[in-house]
Amino acid sequence: MNSVGQALEFWVKRLALRGPLTACDRDMILDLPGVTKTYRPSQDIVQLGARATQVSLVVDGVIARFGQARSGARQLTALYIPGDMCDLHSAVLPVVSAPLQSTQGATLYRISHDDIRDVANRSPALARAFWRDCAVDGQIASEWLLNVGRRSAIAKLSHLICELACRFTAIGQPLANFSIGMTQNQLGEATGLTGVHVNRTLRLLREQGLIAASANGLKIVDWPRLVAVAEFDTAYLHLPN
Amino acid sequence: MNSVGQALEFWVKRLALRGPLTACDRDMILDLPGVTKTYRPSQDIVQLGARATQVSLVVDGVIARFGQARSGARQLTALYIPGDMCDLHSAVLPVVSAPLQSTQGATLYRISHDDIRDVANRSPALARAFWRDCAVDGQIASEWLLNVGRRSAIAKLSHLICELACRFTAIGQPLANFSIGMTQNQLGEATGLTGVHVNRTLRLLREQGLIAASANGLKIVDWPRLVAVAEFDTAYLHLPN
DNA sequence: CGCCAGATTGAGGACGCTCAATTCTGGTGG
DNA sequence: CCACCAGAATTGAGCGTCCTCAATCTGGCG
């Protein structure tokens, strides 16, 4: 179980990545007032068409943004893990065009738009950092587009697993054995596959010795080969280190 | 043929959308110095891994951002038409993680990152507007993800046509009869289909009386039904009007 | 007139989907 | 402690959409 302080630390670390922040900037972020709120599995965080008034820092759990076709089929368009600000763009674009949901339960730290905008007005460096954070989100979406549009099922899933493994590692979760916190159906919604086909493809990955089942999720057995199958390259994630 | 001045006007109009700009802000943008450059069809504008030092305003033509799988298959991840700043995020994320190419020839107005950053530092309102512009790009990517991941071929293509029709209309191009400036192969790369299947699907759209061939591209015959097939809703484009 | 890129069409195949049944799992109440 | 239950995982069979690989056609241009 992570704490709000930890999550804020992770976020500041990311913000400071390519444009060093002053101690003052850093403190402005760490001192941001907010409200902690917990969510049940599949509970809506913001609804389609609503007008957001706060941004949400993920403290614990996994948050999914998704779109929905008329048929009811869902497509996850982004995943957020602890230390991610899952709603930052809403500070400049408040109308919610894609709802957010927790996948397996989550706790968020919600900060008002006014406070975010105030901080951005006072520090050009932070304004730029917020802008950059959204730009990174956009690059991840681009990579997902390539994944969903042009790769085989086995590459799609491997790619998603690699991405999550790297992101969890960056926040101190062990890579070898991590819990994704998503059902196979949700994995399908993220990759443009069916839950059923995700199941078969995971079995394939297991049979090929790339991953293995484990108590609380899945275990990565052969990282180099998984990366090769996924055609995975971390660059687009812009992770610290 | 559009002019640089026109393109800048379009962009300012978009920037001013949700956060009114002062006359001074507006002039700072319109006076931005830059260099006009023209590109041949399929010519690279920025290459993968390069470090961008300028942003590029589309003056004429269509610019595509794309990713490439190891198989060589391409996935377009964004399309930019006149009045779009196709590279704005590079001001805060200079390493190019997805190359840009003109589809059928283009002319760009290139502005240095230094000038953009300078303007952003001097005006918080403009900094926020730039941030918002990138956020809109992200929402469009999300919508594409839904399109590529969860819709049928006919809906995918209709959706892309609707999007482009709306965007072209917003810059004064007639909707009923517009030239997309893309080959059928490129349409496939944008929607996650094959060029061959795009061809068959376009025929289907023609047979159903939704579109028709025309001298310089395609003509939209039945806009309401096209929108219905596409499950299209303009909101995510955040167009002025 | 010949060339070339793009559009068009055909035939066959494959990957992932649909629908449905069954097993497994963890949590709950009796 | 066990029976029960809901949700998730797993498996099977059959099918359909879209892909692959070609061949042909078209229009623009040197």
Distance CA A58, CA B170 (A): 37
Q: Which helix (H) or strand (E) is B154 found in, with range?
A: helix B153-170
Question: Nearest CA to A104 among A49, A183, A30?
Answer: A183
Is the model's pTM score more than 0.75? yes
Report chain B's C-alpha Rg in angstroms: 18
Instruction: Summarize pLDDT for A185-209 with one digit per residue, the tens.
Output: 999 999 999 999 999 999 999 999 9
Instruction: Summarize pLDDT for B142-153 with one digit per residue, the tens.
Output: 999 999 999 999
| B151 contact A CB<8A | yes
B148 contacts in A (CB within 8 Å)?
145, 148-149, 192
Q: Is the pLDDT of residue A1 over 60?
A: no
Which whole number is the average pLDDT over B84-93? 95
| A121 contact B CB<8A | yes
Distance CA A121, CA A124 (A): 7
Instruction: Summarize pLDDT for A40-68 with one digit per residue, the tens.
Output: 888 889 888 899 999 999 999 999 999 99
**Angle CA A160–A137–B93, to nearest 5:** 120
B154 contacts in A (CB within 8 Å)?
none
Distance CA B201, CA B140 (A): 23
Q: Count the residues in chain A.
A: 241
User: Considering chain A, what is the average pLDDT of its residues?
Assistant: 92
Q: Are A47 and A32 in contact (CB under 8 A)?
A: no
Pairing of strands B217-220, B177-178: antiparallel
pLDDT band at B174 (very low <50, low <70, confident <90, very high): low
Q: Is the pLDDT of residue B3 over 90?
A: no
Please report the pLDDT score of residue B102 as a whole number: 93
Cβ neighbours of residue A23 closer than 8 Å, sequence gap 6 or more? none
Q: Is the pLDDT of residue B1 over 60?
A: no
Structure tokens at B22: 């002062």
Please report the pLDDT score of residue B191 as a whole number: 97
Using a pLDDT cut of 70, give the percent of chain B over it.
Answer: 96
| Protein residues in reach of strand C (CB < 7 A) | A 73, 152-154, 188, 192-194, 196-197; B 41-42, 183-185, 195-196, 199-200, 202-203, 213
The answer to whether B18 contacts A121, with C-beta atoms less than 8 Å apart, is no
Distance CA B216, CA A12 (A): 51
Q: Is the pLDDT of residue B26 over 90?
A: yes
Instruction: Summarize pLDDT for A84-106 with one digit per residue, the tens.
Output: 999 999 999 999 899 999 998 89
Nearest chain A residue (CA) to B147: A69
Instruction: Summarize pLDDT for B200-235 with one digit per residue, the tens.
Output: 999 999 999 999 987 667 889 999 999 999 999 999
Q: Is the pLDDT of residue B49 over 70?
A: yes
Nucleotide nearest A188, CA–C1', reads C16
pLDDT band at A215 (very low <50, low <70, confident <90, very high): low
Please report the pLDDT score of residue A153 as a whole number: 97
Distance CA B142, CA A145 (A): 9
Please report the pLDDT score of residue A129 as a whole number: 95
**Angle CA A180–A186–A188, to nearest 5:** 110
The answer to whether A93 contacts B149, with C-beta atoms less than 8 Å apart, is no
The answer to whether B93 contacts A132, with C-beta atoms less than 8 Å apart, is yes
Q: Are A18 and A132 in contact (CB under 8 A)?
A: yes
Which whole number is the average pLDDT over A148-172? 95
Question: Nearest CA to B149 among A90, A165, A160, A210?
Answer: A160
Q: Is the pLDDT of residue A178 over 70?
A: no
Distance CA A218, CA A222 (A): 12
| B228 contact A CB<8A | no
The answer to whether B77 contacts A146, with C-beta atoms less than 8 Å apart, is yes
Distance CA A31, CA A9 (A): 11
Q: Which helix (H) or strand (E) is B218 found in, with range?
A: strand B217-220
Q: Which helix (H) or strand (E) is B113 found in, with range?
A: helix B113-122
Three-state SS for B49? coil
Instruction: Summarize pLDDT for B103-137 with one digit per residue, the tens.
Output: 988 999 999 999 999 999 999 999 999 999 999 99
Question: Nearest CA to A82 among A119, A46, A109?
Answer: A109
Q: How many CB pairs under 8 A join A and B?
A: 151
pLDDT band at A213 (very low <50, low <70, confident <90, very high): confident
Nearest chain B residue (CA) to A237: B97
Distance CA B9, CA B158 (A): 29
